[in-house]
Amino acid sequence: MVNIALLGLGTVGTGIVEILEKQNKGIQIKKILVNNLHKKRAVNIQPEILCTDFEEILNDNSIKIVVEVTSDMEKGYEYIRKSLECGKHVITASKAIVSKYFEELSQLAQNNEVAFLYEASVGGGIPVLKPLKEELEINEVLEIQGILNGTSNYILSRMVEEGMDYSSALKIAQDLGYAEADPSADVDGHDTLRKLRILGTLGLQGKILEEDILLNGISNITAFDIEQIKGMNSTVKLVGEVKNLGNAFTATVQPTIIHKNSYLANVNMAFNAINIKGNHVGDINFYGPGAGKLPTASAVLTDVMDVVNNTYRKKNPLGKRQLKNANHKIQGKFYLRVPNRKELLEQLDMVADQMISSKEHTAIVTKEVSFMALMDFVEGFGLKKEEYFLGRIFK
Amino acid sequence: MVNIALLGLGTVGTGIVEILEKQNKGIQIKKILVNNLHKKRAVNIQPEILCTDFEEILNDNSIKIVVEVTSDMEKGYEYIRKSLECGKHVITASKAIVSKYFEELSQLAQNNEVAFLYEASVGGGIPVLKPLKEELEINEVLEIQGILNGTSNYILSRMVEEGMDYSSALKIAQDLGYAEADPSADVDGHDTLRKLRILGTLGLQGKILEEDILLNGISNITAFDIEQIKGMNSTVKLVGEVKNLGNAFTATVQPTIIHKNSYLANVNMAFNAINIKGNHVGDINFYGPGAGKLPTASAVLTDVMDVVNNTYRKKNPLGKRQLKNANHKIQGKFYLRVPNRKELLEQLDMVADQMISSKEHTAIVTKEVSFMALMDFVEGFGLKKEEYFLGRIFK
């Protein structure tokens, strides 16, 4: 029997308790750290295993594995750091903590000869980080693309399928619990960005920080844009992408227009998908539930079993490559919708390859252009974020 | 440095040599078993590491890992058995050997406390068997579907995209090296069946043998059928499927008609995809190159690294569940094309829900029917295999 401690008993923590109740896997939850000992819980728990003091867990030498599922980034980080330092294995579901403290915590785990695992932090239930680490033994990763945020994907899917406008789709997502009251972390792309920071840093074996990633969310997309995109036989997804350029990288999170016959175009609703291109293996793709109580709990518990079975990878998975940010080199074709302003329309053929609509708004497909030059063009007319929409056209 | 031996230097063996030439992973190929010492090879190899006598490898105690990539099932099996018995780890890419000797070799590896790994045997380069084994720690697998044969998928993709007939598409697949001169193992579904036997036996944790699987290939599909299927806003794929019915299972390999907006419908050309439904994690899906020199070699080498890093799973992954074959219970809706024969057409409304075409041939969508009853109906008219086409309609 292996004793573990849970830090937090929210959605994912509850899922972990539920699964372990049904399975006899030689795992015992010895302590659960909570804020409130007396709150009513959705699962049956012996009251004596609840505690409010993390030190109780830290000082219990019979607890070998700490599972961090709080939703408090700074406290969670402290708990993880202290647990690793005192020789406990740590598993977390928090992309925010992994993204912010990736290098430090990975090194700390190695120094203390314990596991630091975080499969659930990217792609929810989808097994992707462990397969990625394994592919890296044999492959150089050339690029990674991911639909990494279920909320944005749900909103875009409803807009595309039903011609709904953004605010109606967001409202439904909120009513169904897919989106939070303040949806900005999801729709502005911060959540995708954190997951891309993790995938990219692992995949390219060099540090790619949050601030290295060009960020453009979905909140200014309109039903008009969706209509034009559908007319292009395409759909739109919020995609995080890193590309390996040798000693440099590009990293972006942006609305991406994908031909509807492509595999990624058919990743709908709250599902996530991640594509990894290795120099030997080629393109491999992982698809599944990007969030949810039981899928996320299942991913956390596969990490726990990796420690219990002693099959986890012992060395620090992060590489030491020094990579330059080459986002200024990004080129491509883009969908651009701008307001019908005379001075802008007069100069549009500097960037336009194809006019799609010139009715309520003007929508074009650009020539192959530099992304930075395109932004300069748009911002040169003093357009505010909410006045235009820009989506990259995939491949 | 870990010494390995390669058994065979065909396509996959050559790929392994190529990758290891470029990577310094602490692996040295000490011996390569070949049939002909003097054949010209596509890779540079020191002649002294080639040998024609397996006993040389078996008796070399410095060789810890044997990589079986012969294309000889019976010899390959003998080599694997002897290697495991003398305490060497074994990795194979052969689905035929794994399918035929799965239980025996898995047990033998456990008895001798060595690894027996075969990631490349299903889905080529796609990491799927290891993730499946890991999900099984936390999940009961409810069902598995797979597009597991690149050749069939290539032929069907060309037929659907270009309205080509079966024999032209087969000819192209042969010219491009996707299909062999005798394509029957691929197009009649035997290759898919072996992979499904492996996936199903692992996934359901009980023995599902090749002969337990209902088999129906693609070789009698025609351009007429493709036209009708496209008219249904669908495409057709050769799908292997196992379902978990508690103490029983169904297992089929059959042409499957899939709505074109679905994820599996967009797995095209020689790509493979596998969907696994776990009771906790939900649907997770793996997609990638199902064959090919470097993808397959990459999968073999991730297994090798799993042994080198000592992160492979030590226990026999096969379960002991006693499962009954419940294929007689299979029900569903089917696409059926039959010749325009009066006595048959008169009775067709016993099974038909919807008439699709009654021109050159008659094509219908059936009611929800028992598969066995439908086969009885068809065979009751004395129709031979090549006179009709039957495809299950997915979901």
Residue with tokens 């001169």: B181
**pLDDT higher than 80, residue A24:** no
Distance to chain A for B229, nearest Cα, Å: 16
pLDDT in tens, B99-124: 999 999 999 999 999 999 999 999 99
pLDDT at residue B356, rounded to an integer: 94
A313 and chain B in contact, CB less than 8 A: yes
pLDDT in tens, B64-88: 999 999 999 999 999 999 999 999 9
Q: What is the mean pLDDT of chain B?
A: 96
B280 and A267 in contact by Cβ < 8 A?
A: no
C-alpha–C-alpha distance, residues B314 and A259, integer Å: 44
Using CB atoms, which residue from B25, B127, B135 is nearest to A134?
Answer: B127
Distance to chain B for A339, nearest Cα, Å: 33
| Nearest C-alpha neighbor of B51 from the set B79, B93, B89 | B79
DSSP type of residue A341: -
Of the residues A88, A195, A237, A243, only one is catalytic, namely A195
> Which of B142, B271, B280 is the best mutation test for A, with the most CBs of A within 10 A?
B280
Using CB atoms, which residue from B265, B278, B299 is nearest to A298?
Answer: B278
CB pairs under 8 A between A and B: 143
List, as ranges, residues 118-137 from B with C-beta within 8 Å of A.
Answer: 125-127, 130-131, 134-135, 137
A278 and chain B in contact, CB less than 8 A: yes
Q: Cite the beta strand spans of chain A per DSSP E.
A: 2-7, 27-33, 50-51, 63-68, 89-92, 116-117, 141-147, 214-215, 234-244, 248-259, 271-278, 282-289, 324-325, 331-332, 334-339, 352-357, 361-366, 369-370, 389-393
Q: Where in chain B is the domain with CATH 3.40.50.720?
A: 2-117
pLDDT at residue B395, rounded to an integer: 79
- Residue A63 pairs in a beta bridge with A3
| Nearest C-alpha neighbor of B275 from the set B153, B144, B149 | B144
| Nearest C-alpha neighbor of B309 from the set B318, B301, B317 | B301
A281 and chain B in contact, CB less than 8 A: yes
Distance to chain A for B295, nearest Cα, Å: 4
Please tell me the least confidently modeled range out of B46-55, B125-134, B241-250, B355-364.
B355-364
The CA-based angle B196-B200-B206, given to 5 degrees, is 145
Burial of B227 (0-12, 13-18, 19+ CB in 10 A): middle
DSSP type of residue A209: -
B296 is in an annotated binding site: no
- Look at strands A331-332 and A334-339 and give their pairing: unpaired
A150 and chain B in contact, CB less than 8 A: no
- Which residues on chain B are in Cβ contact (under 8 Å) with A314? 309, 311
C-alpha–C-alpha distance, residues B348 and B355, integer Å: 10
pLDDT in tens, A149-163: 999 999 999 999 999
**pLDDT higher than 90, residue A79:** yes
B263 and A266 in contact by Cβ < 8 A?
A: yes
C-alpha–C-alpha distance, residues B352 and B237, integer Å: 22
**Which residue of chain B has the CA closest to A140?**
B23
Average pLDDT over residues A193-208: 98
List, as ranges, residues 325-384 from A with C-beta within 8 Å of B.
Answer: none
Q: Collapsing DSSP states into helix, strand and coil, what is residue B161?
A: helix
pLDDT in tens, B91-100: 999 999 999 9
C-alpha–C-alpha distance, residues A267 and A258, integer Å: 11
B233 and chain A in contact, CB less than 8 A: no
**Which residue of chain B has the CA closest to A23?**
B138
C-alpha–C-alpha distance, residues A305 and B77, integer Å: 32
C-alpha–C-alpha distance, residues A51 and A65, integer Å: 16
Using CB atoms, which residue from B15, B288, B302 is nearest to A283?
Answer: B288
Given a contact cutoff of 8 angstroms between Cβ atoms, the answer to whether A305 and B134 are in contact is yes
A333 is in an annotated binding site: no
Of the residues B195, B207, B243, B277, only one is catalytic, namely B195
pLDDT band for position A360 (50/70/90)?
confident
Distance to chain A for B101, nearest Cα, Å: 26
The DSSP element (H or E) to which B375 belongs, if any, is: helix B371-380
**Which residue of chain A has the CA closest to B306?**
A134
Residue with tokens 């897919």: A178
Average pLDDT over residues A55-70: 98
A11 is in an annotated binding site: yes
Burial of B225 (0-12, 13-18, 19+ CB in 10 A): buried
B11 is in an annotated binding site: yes
B134 and A286 in contact by Cβ < 8 A?
A: no
Share of chain A above pLDDT 70, in %: 100
Q: Report the CATH superfamily, name and number, of domain B129-289+319-324.
A: Dihydrodipicolinate Reductase; domain 2 (3.30.360.10)
- Which residues on chain B are in Cβ contact (under 8 Å) with A259? none
A328 phi, psi to nearest 5 deg: -65, -15
pLDDT at residue B244, rounded to an integer: 98
Distance to chain A for B383, nearest Cα, Å: 36
C-alpha–C-alpha distance, residues B254 and A365, integer Å: 43
- Which residues on chain B are in Cβ contact (under 8 Å) with A311? 311-314
| Distance set, CA B47 to CA A147, B36, B37, B38, B51 (Å) | 49, 11, 8, 9, 9
- Residue B239 pairs in a beta bridge with B254
B301 and chain A in contact, CB less than 8 A: yes
Given a contact cutoff of 8 angstroms between Cβ atoms, the answer to whether B111 and B314 are in contact is no
pLDDT at residue A358, rounded to an integer: 87
How high is the ipTM of this complex? 0.96
Q: Where in chain A is the domain with CATH 3.30.70?
A: 330-393
pLDDT in tens, B12-61: 999 999 999 988 789 999 999 999 999 999 999 999 999 999 999 999 99
**pLDDT higher than 90, residue A223:** yes
DSSP string covering B53-122: -HHHHHT-TTEEEEEE--S-HHHHHHHHHHHHHTT-EEEE--HHHHHHHHHHHHHHHHHTT--EE-GGGT
Given a contact cutoff of 8 angstroms between Cβ atoms, the answer to whether B54 and B88 are in contact is no
B138 and chain A in contact, CB less than 8 A: yes
DSSP string covering A88-134: -EEEE--HHHHHHHHHHHHHHHHHTT--EE-GGGTTTTS--HHHHHH
Using CB atoms, which residue from B19, B130, B266 is nearest to A263?
Answer: B266
Q: Cite the beta strand spans of chain B per DSSP E.
A: 2-7, 27-33, 50-51, 63-68, 89-92, 116-117, 141-147, 214-215, 234-244, 248-259, 271-278, 282-289, 324-325, 331-332, 334-339, 352-357, 361-366, 369-370, 389-393
Q: Does B195 participate in catalysis according to the annotation?
A: yes
C-alpha–C-alpha distance, residues A39 and A81, integer Å: 28
pLDDT band for position A359 (50/70/90)?
confident
- Which residues on chain A are in Cβ contact (under 8 Å) with B309? 137, 313-314
Using CB atoms, which residue from B25, B130, B131 is nearest to A137?
Answer: B25
Q: Where in chain B is the domain with CATH 3.30.360.10?
A: 129-289+319-324
**Which residue of chain B has the CA closest to A124?**
B281
| Structure token pair of residue A385 | 């974020």
Q: Report the CATH superfamily, name and number, of domain B2-117.
A: NAD(P)-binding Rossmann-like Domain (3.40.50.720)
B386 is in an annotated binding site: no
- Alpha carbon B98 to its chain's center: 11
B134 and A314 in contact by Cβ < 8 A?
A: no
- Which residues on chain A are in Cβ contact (under 8 Å) with B300? none
Using CB atoms, which residue from B125, B284, B311 is nearest to A288?
Answer: B284
3-state class percentages of chain A: helix first, strand second, coil last, to nearest 5: 40, 25, 35
Q: Where in chain A is the domain with CATH 3.30.360.10?
A: 129-289+319-325
A288 and B285 in contact by Cβ < 8 A?
A: yes
A282 and chain B in contact, CB less than 8 A: yes
> Which of A134, A141, A303 is the best mutation test for B, with the most CBs of B within 10 A?
A134
C-alpha–C-alpha distance, residues A339 and A62, integer Å: 64
Distance to chain A for B294, nearest Cα, Å: 5
pLDDT at residue B23, rounded to an integer: 80
B283 and chain A in contact, CB less than 8 A: yes
Share of chain A above pLDDT 90, in %: 95
pLDDT band for position B188 (50/70/90)?
very high
pLDDT at residue B348, rounded to an integer: 94
Overall fold of domain A129-289+319-325: Dihydrodipicolinate Reductase; domain 2 (3.30.360)
Neighbouring C-alpha atoms within 13 Å toward the C-beta of B341 = 11
C-alpha–C-alpha distance, residues B226 and B236, integer Å: 8
pLDDT in tens, A98-110: 999 999 999 999 9
Distance to chain A for B395, nearest Cα, Å: 17
pLDDT band for position A25 (50/70/90)?
confident
pLDDT in tens, B300-353: 999 999 999 999 999 999 999 999 999 999 999 999 999 999 999 999 999 999
C-alpha–C-alpha distance, residues B374 and B350, integer Å: 10
| Structure token pair of residue A7 | 């830090």
| Structure token pair of residue A357 | 């609509």
Architecture of the domain spanning B330-393: 2-Layer Sandwich (3.30)
> CB-based contacts of A380: which residues, under 8 Å, 6+ apart?
none
pLDDT at residue A23, rounded to an integer: 80
